[in-house]
A = this chain, B = another copy of it.
């Protein structure tokens, strides 16, 4: 009996297409050969009855509610605010993916698109269209301040890369932090002080009730004229129409946006053909199925051994 319970099947629940779900199940099964991982649609009534753990990637909440013994779910994504909203008031524990590879990939994306702005690639692209040969004045990175909103694992890894590239670094977090070679700020006054000296602002915050629409017209106006912005976190952290106004007035020179309130970004949205916007399809730091599966496997193994559910999301704090 114990043996049975210790090897209850694990559901993989996702609204992704069949091909992608199959890739995930294959990779997860390879990472934990002793477990039985099944797509929700492939589970028998008895298997659904037994299931205590599910691995999820944008799951249909209705499917989760058909698993009576389900105790916890492991997301293969780092951001879980949509999952929490979908589940509402629940006793289910949510474990989000904390993958060092994700921080590495995100830090690379931050470096890549910071250099894209620093080296004025959008302007040179426009000049190419006009067949205009004109080298712009070059400013060394030591004379530019890059500020990161959010100093968790992703923010710290990104800061390290940007320091190596020679930029001056500032960072802002909910609670005061100390990071080598980063001028750290916290609180509302700290945010204002930081924004006033920022040339390139990078958003890596989780979306919570406190960060929703954090960047509105007032905050954006505190940035110096000509500042630039990268949002690799969640669309709703920026008030979209305030961003548009700041770009239209050229107060903001350019925005690189990888995330939007509605994704995929609908074809009629203004961002697509705004000359000061680079639209990316949520590609800054894709989950690596291989490293993510190894981490999920490790967490499930620990749970099998100790019965303890891994560190999970604080639903009040929101991450």
Contact = CB atoms under 8 A, between A and B. Distances in A.
Interface of A: 104-105, 108-109, 111-113, 115-116, 118-119, 121, 124-125, 127-129, 131-136, 138, 140-141, 164-166, 263-265, 267, 272-273, 278-283, 286, 288
Given A115-B111, A119-B109, A280 B124 contact: yes
A125 B116 CA distance: 12
B124 A267 contact: no
16 contacts: A108-B115, A108-B119, A108-B166, A109-B119, A111-B111, A111-B115, A111-B165, A112-B116, A127-B281, A129-B273, A133-B264, A133-B281, A135-B286, A136-B283, A138-B286, A138-B288
Contacts of A132: 281
A116 B121 contact: yes
Contacts of A263: 133
A79 B66 CA distance: 71
B141 A279 contact: no
Nearest to A134: B281
A141 B267 contact: no
B105 A281 contact: no
A131 B272 contact: yes
Contacts of A265: 133
Contacts of A124: 278-281, 283
A294 to B, nearest CB: 15
A282 B134 CA distance: 9
A283 B138 contact: yes
Contacts of A128: 272, 278-279
